[in-house]
Amino acid sequence: MNKVKLSLATLGLVLFLSGCNYTPYMQFSHNAIYLNDKDTTNILKLQNPRKVYRFDSCVFNGFTIDDKNTHIEYIKLHSWCQWNGLSSSFYQNFLNLNIKKLQLIKSFTKDKYNIFLYAKDGKEFYFVHTYDVSSDLLIIDYDGSFVVSICDECYLLDKSIQFDERIDKSLIDRNFFEGYFSRESNDDEYYKK
């Protein structure tokens, strides 16, 4: 019995000490987003960001950032809500609804990054999805400057083939109509009592 208590005490101490050294995966500052992987920190630099907070009953924290070469959407759901599918797939469908005749050229996976190269009429851009336990970061990289820092096969986009349409809509704003996320069904049962 003493061995069990000692093992539990050791496990508790290890968990406590590892929690003290925890660095969040995503950190935001005014001019950069820091994505902390095991061994590296990838930095998405922002030049002149315009941040707009977005609201939904399921969203704990949500915003979009428009910058010179980047469009970002950050979504962190409340603990009582869930995605009704894959957030990355929802965003790709969202792109196809907003940009007609969009074609997926190639996709890449690198660690916690899902990277997609899209084109329309010969103009290209990258869509990047990354996540942690409770939040999703959806990035449109118009010139490829962030993507080349995380993907060896990816390349900077020449200005002559850079996509020039801009995304001004939000997945959070469209949730009411499209149902991307909702309350978990267990909570619905709790509220009916």
Residue 30 and residue 39 in contact, taking contact as beta carbons nearer than 8 Å? no
Task: Please state the domain count of the chain.
Answer: 1
Q: Is 12 inside any structural domain?
A: no
User: For residue 152, what are the β-bridge partners?
Assistant: none
Q: Is 96 inside any structural domain?
A: yes
Q: Is the pLDDT of residue 57 over 50?
A: yes
Q: Is the pLDDT of residue 187 over 50?
A: no
Find the mean pLDDT for residues 82-101.
Answer: 93
Helical (H) or strand (E) element with 62? strand 59-66
Average pLDDT for the chain: 87
Angstrom CA distances, 101 to 23, 97, 119, stand at: 41, 9, 9
pLDDT at site 15: 53
Top mean pLDDT of 94-108, 159-173, 176-190 is at: 94-108
Q: Is 67 inside any structural domain?
A: yes
pLDDT at site 3: 66
104: region left, alpha or beta (phi > 0 left; psi from -120 to 50 alpha): beta
Q: Is 177 inside any structural domain?
A: yes
pLDDT at site 149: 93
- Of the candidates 186, 187, 169, 167, the one whose C-alpha atom is nearest the C-alpha of residue 178 is 169
Least confident of 8-17, 27-36, 90-99, 141-150: 8-17
Q: Is 32 inside any structural domain?
A: no
Structure-block tokens of residue 9: 């005490």
| Domain boundaries, position 69 | 48-192
Orientation angle between helical segments 171-178 and 87-98, nearest 10 degrees:
90
Structure-block tokens of residue 43: 């930095």
- Comparison of pLDDT for 182 and 6, the residue scoring more: 182
Angstrom CA distances, 69 to 8, 60, 158, stand at: 51, 27, 12
Q: Is the pLDDT of residue 77 over 80?
A: yes
